[in-house]
Amino acid sequence: MQTRTPALIDHTTGIQAQDVHAWFDRLHALRGISMTVPERKVTAVIGPSGCGKSTFLRCINRMHELVPEARVSGRVLLGQENVYDEAADPVLVRRRIGMVFQKANPFPTMSIYNNVAAGLTLAGERDRRKVEQIVEQSLRAAALWDEVKDRLHKPGTSLSGGQQQRLCIARALAVSPEVLLMDEPASALDPASTLRIEELARELANDITIVIVTHNMQQAARVSDFTGFFLDGELIEYGPTNDLFTKPRDRRTEDYITGRFG
Amino acid sequence: MSVAGRVAAGSSARTGDRPFQLLLAVMAAAVPLIIGAVLVALIAAASPAIQRFGVGFFVTSTWDPVAEEFGVLPFIYGTLVSSALALLIAVPLGLGVAIFLAELVPGWLRAPITFFVELLAAIPSVVIGLWGIFVLVPWVRTTLEPLLKSTLGFLPLFSGPPLGIGMLTAGLILAAMVVPFIVAVSTEVMRAVPRAQREGALALGATMWETTRTAVLPYARSGIIGAIFLALARALGETMAVTMVIGNVPQIKASLFAPAYTIPAVIANEFTEATSDLYVAALIYAGLVLFIVTVAVNALARLLVSRVARGPAQIRE
């Protein structure tokens, strides 16, 4: 494993969701979620399909509202600031809260290097030396540097699926986010690549707050410090991962983790 | 029933595939065959002029039916310049409309705008030509050309008397005719860009426009280029509307205000009055030249594009 590069991370913050509701048109997808995500920890969000776990993630960085007819209410505090404040700019919110998606989505016309540099270019960084440095740091932090350092100018899509996902993580890290959201980042990957992403999430949590959505309970158990269980748009139970899996307080949590449904 | 019997029965049920494959192969072969047949017919019919004028036909500027001296250089020039002018205007305009339709437009407004764009493509070119004569030409003569002359008149491009009829108006009218192609195809390819690509850019803190620029346009690049090719092909071959506003004078002038002539226009205008065999052959030779020019421009454009831009590589699953 690469050594981490603390220089990349400015600072990190926790997240506090307060009574977050979300709708798709008339569908009430989240019904009052209140949840505190501690900083420099991996927090997993689990639950069956359609429980609202991805929607919750997308409410944190204001991606949910991009879907036509979608609405959000409530507050999401990033540190002390409410990202849904009147004065908050969703573009700036998303610069501070990075995101990795279910399927790797590198920009297919860009090289590996340019994919990682994309966010910096958007942010207006013109200093080539600085960009080069950050690209290398980001790729190292995403445990991809050794595999790609000799072919940085090859297309990002020439990589394997697992490498592409790590490229997307590097791309997200390059803009020094304070929080990294991961939406089922390994669901399209083979077991070996999945393991690497999990190791990476653990490693990154030394520097940055991570929220990971997963449908895979073993993954949540392996990777996270805290776990929240969602069902039908509600947060049923939330606590230290170990407690939630070994002595769930709610009957529905127990049913889910023991495989009785979901 | 034995296993072998079942397998045999299955294969006899599939005999329908053979004739179907053959039919499709014939259909596919029809396209190159038609092109070949057109080419052969053109060469045969043009042969008196080909023998008389040879390759010099391409670089000669005389077009004198009385003396039977023919050369198509001014027509090639007129065809290429009017089409280039059209693309210069239509590509930014069409892309702008396409970006608006694919990325910005509220749902209720998309259908009406799309309808009008398609309507524009459906107007017969002779009708557009009439509009050109009665509306566009006077406006260009009294407003656009004087304005260009007073601001950019120091350039040879915008010198000379404002006639209204000429290369500039032909370029404008061609632009109006090819914009719908660019809009329709580009809108479709942009809307086909996966949501994940847009979200990838948005999650990095890209604004609406930055997302279009970093994620949507590069991904849709090859399709947009295809749209421009389609527009170019249409512009090169467009006859009626251009004939009505370009002035029909075979000359090469630096000024865009000056009248010009295109190959399709000269063929349409003069074919009925071509009396001698050589005159007819010369016009058909001109048609052959248009064929060659169109193919050459397309090939060149494709070559250029394959050097600078490739479409999105397949994203591995």
Rounded to two decimals, the ipTM of the complex is 0.88
Which residue among B203, B215, B315 sits closest to A94, beta carbon to beta carbon? B203
The answer to whether B87 and B177 have CB atoms below 8 angstroms apart is no
Say whether B165 sits in a helix, a strand or coil: coil
Tokens representing A179 are: 């929080």
In the predicted structure, residue A5 carries a pLDDT above the cut 50: no
CA distance A55 to A76: 13
Architecture of the domain made up of A16-257: 3-Layer(aba) Sandwich (3.40)
**What is the chain A residue with the closest CA to B208?**
A91
- For chain B, which residues make up each domain, given as ranges? 56-316
pLDDT above 70 as % of chain A:
95
Enumerate the domain spans of chain A: 16-257
Distance from C-alpha of B267 to C-alpha of B273, rounded to nearest angstrom = 10
- If you average pLDDT over residues A210-219, what whole number do you get? 93
Q: Provide the pLDDT for residue B17.
A: 83
- Inter-helix orientation angle B263-270/B277-308, to 10°: 160
Residue A88 CB partners (closer than 8 Å, separation 6+): A81, A82
Mutate to test the interface with B, among A110, A122, A164, A181 (most CBs of B within 10 A): A122
Distance from CA of B266 to the nearest CA of A (A): 44
B237 in contact with A, Cβ within 8 Å:
no
What CATH code is assigned to B56-316? 1.10.3720.10
CB B293 within 8 A of CB B78: no
pLDDT band of B9, cuts 50, 70, 90: low
Tens-digit pLDDT profile for residues A141-152: 998 999 999 999
User: b/e per residue, B157-175, with b = 16+ CB within 10 A?
Assistant: bbbbebbbbbbbbbbbbbb
Any chain A CB within 8 A of the CB of B106? Answer: no
pLDDT in tens, A99-128: 999 999 999 999 999 999 999 998 888 899
Cβ pair A168:B199 closer than 8 A: no
- Residue A38 pLDDT: 92
Residue B8: per-residue pLDDT: 57
When pLDDT is averaged across residues B48-67 and rounded to a whole number, the result is 92
Instruction: Read off the pLDDT of residues B157-190 as tens digits, 9 standing for 90 and up.
Output: 898 888 999 999 999 999 999 999 999 999 999 9
- Do A172 and B313 lie within an 8 Å CB cutoff? no
> CA quadruple A188, A193, A197, A198: dihedral positive or negative?
positive
Q: Where are the alpha helices (DSSP H) in chain B?
A: 3-13, 17-53, 56-59, 73-99, 107-122, 125-131, 137-139, 145-152, 167-191, 195-203, 208-211, 217-237, 240-246, 263-270, 277-308
Residue A91 C-alpha, separation from nearest chain B C-alpha, in angstroms:
5
Indicate which of A67, A91, A121 best probes the interface with B, i.e. most B CBs within 10 Å of its own CB.
Answer: A91
